[in-house]
Amino acid sequence: MASPAYIDIVKRKQAEQQSRIPQEWRLKSLPDESVTDVRHIPRESGILSTREIEITETFDAVELADRIRRRMYSCHEVTLAFCKRAAIAQQLLNCLTEIFFDKALERAKQLDKHLEEHGLPLGPFHGVPISLKDNFNYTGYDSSSGVVALCFRPAKEKSSIVSVLEDAGAVFYCKTNIPQTMMSLDSVNLIWGRALNPLNRKLTAGGSSGGEGALIGIRGSLIGIGSDVGGSIRVPAMCNGLYGVKPSAHRYVSQVGSEFIMPGSFGVGLSFSTGPIATSLRSCELLLKVVSDGKLWESEPHVLFSPWRTLEFKPRPMKFLVLMTDLVTTPLPPVQRVLKETAAQLQSRGHKVVVLDDPPKFVKQLHGLSNKLMSIEGGAWASDLVDKTGEPKVPWVAPRLKRRDPATLKQLFELNSKNEELITQSLKLWKSSDGQGFDAIICPVAPHPTPQPDAWNGAGYTSMFNMLDWPSGAIPARNVTREDLEAPLGAETGTSWDKINRTKLWEKREGYLGSPLSLQIVGRKFQEEELLHAMHVVDEVVSGTRGAAVRDHKL
């Protein structure tokens, strides 16, 4: 009996990837499974020079761009440093898919020449390497999205966001790992294997932008492009202790220029967004500004005219709503505790905080409706692609990606009507009893800390904001402590999701110790500028950083 077609394709694809990592960048030996935190290995590998370690470990994307502009580093040496570190990261974490280091190094030389001849950079990201989630197109390379049938189908043109960032001086050098069909919050597929978490390889790196999270977590990149239809930027940011922003849909990029994300491939009513994951919040903000000013509306049919608004935020007490539960899954003690701590810290700084322990019932309905909208097409698009080469579904996808009848026109009408009703009701969350309204909402990214692979328990805390199309972002708060693990559980909700959370996930709580806890900050639709300001304010409070003048920052 002949082997399924996918087996040979996978072998050829993996061999192609291996051939693109220079022999001198190969690790002499790989750590065994007992080594869970591998962030130290790149600097100890002997592959990176002292200067390359400095370049990759000392700065964020904003400061690195400034140093390139001031000729303290050349574009070529910066790109070479990150290519090397990305190669090391791949060997440790399976975080890459397509590799084009040679092309990146050639572009870096051209950018050095430009700076030498003109004295001015192309744009704000001149010479800064930026990594790219696999589903976005880069000319000459696949966008397989974890599906074997999409291998060896190189893109004929770049995704529009790639072109905009290259116009701003960015250097693209690799694409990053994702789940099979991108329909998972853990990044594993049969082509590339599982992306691992550099902080703790026993925990998930998240998904679907998990390769981005892992690569940036080990500083093989300082900033990367992710996509988000249910949490796929915010979840990897949380898992890897990073910053990530999901903007409003259609302000930054539509579904054009992505091999797998095509009209009809995901649910009607769920907002596909493109945004950054980075080592700093100001790097995320700069990228959003550059893309907003990149005039995507001139080339993409659904992107709105939306130049970045330069706003000055004067010091004043802000008002935050802290959403403690979605009424579906009660957050586990570490998550509850960090929410309450954040509320207290904000109040101690003079901000007004309302803690909502018992939100309106429509919050619970958002979870169920987003799940229905995700499967509205019946799974045929993704199933057809997977079945084309005889590729089996990975464990997380198998029970979820099943062929079913697509929604009828009547059902579609009813779901859309319910969607509009909930969107309207949800606007009430922004209203406070004193009539002032809230500047931002704070809530969990997930009802649990970063779990083991394939154990993520629902995406309700993130997917609700895709359905509402409210911009939101994740910021790291602190790590899980022993006290967190000894705290009592909260009230039961009675749902199956909550039961899994209270049993399967809480029973393995020792594995959470030392893992990052994050906060999700939510803003109003198309008000990314205000959201980023609120994120800066909360980040300053929870982290104590004073890198930029947060209260009166201006970008």
Q: List pLDDT tens digits, range 174-229.
A: 999 999 999 899 999 999 999 999 999 999 999 999 999 999 999 999 999 999 99
At 254, the pLDDT band (50, 70, 90 cuts) reads low
**Mean pLDDT, the chain, integer:** 93
**Is 437 marked within a binding site?**
no
Mark whether 208 is an active-site residue: yes
Q: What is the mean pLDDT of residues 72-101?
A: 98
Q: List pLDDT tens digits, range 300-331.
A: 888 899 999 999 999 999 999 999 999 999 99
- Under a CB-based contact definition with an 8 Å cutoff, are residues 228 and 246 in contact? yes
Residue tagged active-site, from 45, 131, 227, 232: 232
For the chain, domain boundaries: 123-555
Q: What is the mean pLDDT of residues 383-406?
A: 91
Residue tagged active-site, from 208, 283, 292, 463: 208
**Is 232 marked within a binding site?**
yes
Residue 181: count other Cβ atoms within 10 Å of its Cβ: 24
Q: How much is the pTM?
A: 0.96
Residue 62 exposed, middle or buried by CB count within 10 Å (0-12, 13-18, 19+): buried
> Pairing state of beta strands 129-133 and 223-228?
parallel
Residue 553 has pLDDT above 80, yes or no: no
Taking every pair of Cα atoms in the chain, the longest distance, rounded to a whole number of angstroms, is 73
Dihedral class, residue 13 (left if φ above 0, else alpha if ψ from -120 to 50, else beta): alpha
Alpha-carbon radius of gyration of the chain:
22
Residue 290 has pLDDT above 60, yes or no: yes
The reported pLDDT for the residue numbered 255 is 55
At 376, the pLDDT band (50, 70, 90 cuts) reads confident
Mark whether 133 is an active-site residue: yes
**Bigger pLDDT: 545 vs 21:** 21
**Is 378 marked within a binding site?**
no
**Is 208 marked within a binding site?**
yes
Q: C-alpha distances in angstroms, 225 versus 215, 272, 294, 375?
A: 12, 13, 15, 25
- Under a CB-based contact definition with an 8 Å cutoff, are residues 104 and 169 in contact? no
* DSSP per position, 260-323: S--TTSS-TTPPPEEEEEESSHHHHHHHHHHHHTTTGGGT-TT----PPP---------EEEEE
The reported pLDDT for the residue numbered 263 is 52
Mark whether 432 is an active-site residue: no
**Is 231 marked within a binding site?**
yes
CATH number of 123-555: 3.90.1300.10
Distance CA 276, CA 130 (A): 10
HEC letters along 373-433: HHCCCCCHHHHHHHHCCCCCCCCCCCCCCCCCCCCCHHHHHHHHHHHHHHHHHHHHHHCCC
Residue type, 24: E
Distance CA 253, CA 256 (A): 8
**Is 268 marked within a binding site?**
no
Q: How many CA atoms lie within 13 A of 90 on its CB side?
A: 26
Residue tagged active-site, from 84, 133, 175, 289: 133
User: For residue 395, which of 180, 196, 203, 200 has the smallest C-alpha distance?
Assistant: 180
Distance CA 4, CA 386 (A): 12
Q: C-alpha distances in angstroms, 235 versus 36, 226, 332, 453, 530?
A: 20, 11, 16, 13, 22
Q: What is the mean pLDDT of residues 115-127?
A: 97
